[in-house]
Structure 1
Amino acid sequence: MAKSASLPFKGTFEHSQGFGARPSVYAKFGLQGHDGDDWKMPEGTVLFSP
């Protein structure tokens, strides 16, 4: 059975950069693209961690 991940916050926020995005920018760091997912949210937004 496949596992699913939930987001570590409550609310609706803009997904500002996805995994693997902008490979030409990240190539200078030896990466094939952005190595995470970024979300634009106000400073102080509560994040959850198991």
Structure 2
Amino acid sequence: MQDYKLTYDKERHCWDLTDYQQRQIQLAFNYQAADSLLNTSLFEG
């Protein structure tokens, strides 16, 4: 995964992400989840 230059929003106590960064992170998580599902189904089958 890319190394994001994140800025921390101290008032809202959360990381300030751009829409693009949020989409990239969501895609990465979805990819990892799908990858692990495929791996487990291969071993179980």
TM-score normalised by L of structure 1: 0.22
Please identify which structure carries the higher helix content.
Answer: 2
TM-score by length of 2: 0.23
> Which has the higher Rg, Structure 1 or Structure 2?
2
